[in-house]
Amino acid sequence: MSPKITTVEPARWQPTGLVTTLLSPGARQVIRCWLGTGDFLDEQHQPRILLALAEGDDAFTDLVRCANPDLVSAVVLNELLRKGIVEALESGHVLLRRSAYAPAGQPEPESVLAEPEDLLSNGIPRRRFNDT
């Protein structure tokens, strides 16, 4: 039995560079599914808070199965927790942290060292006056 998949058009969210840099390909699939499948978004089109390892409605295991049936839910959840992409709640739910997704179509913020005046003549970043 596979969960019903409902996509949201157009996509409102995209994974951030944090997700694409830190996570394995399987975990990235899960995050993309969480952000782009209507069954895992709430009424305001925000990622739902999901039951950690239970079966049933709004369960993380259903999300993983939807993203890739070959993945093991507990392994993906452990990776997401270890890397700080999700937060475990006392209620037994997991919350996708806001730092893991951004509005679709918006570019990633550039580094604070992107400006040429932030570099010394030899290309080494210089300390800014507000660095501590």
Q: Render each residue's pLDDT in the chain as its tens digit; 132 residues.
A: 455 555 445 678 999 998 989 999 999 999 999 999 989 999 999 999 999 978 777 799 999 999 999 999 999 999 999 999 999 999 899 999 999 999 987 665 544 333 444 445 555 554 444 443
Report pLDDT for 9.
53
Report pLDDT for 18.
86
Report pLDDT for 79.
97
User: Dihedral through CA 83, CA 87, CA 91, CA 93, nearest 10?
Assistant: -80
Nearest of 80, 105, 74 to residue 18 by alpha carbon: 80
Report pLDDT for 74.
95
Nearest of 93, 98, 90 to residue 46 by alpha carbon: 98
What domains are defined for the chain? 13-118 (1.10.10)
Report pLDDT for 29.
96
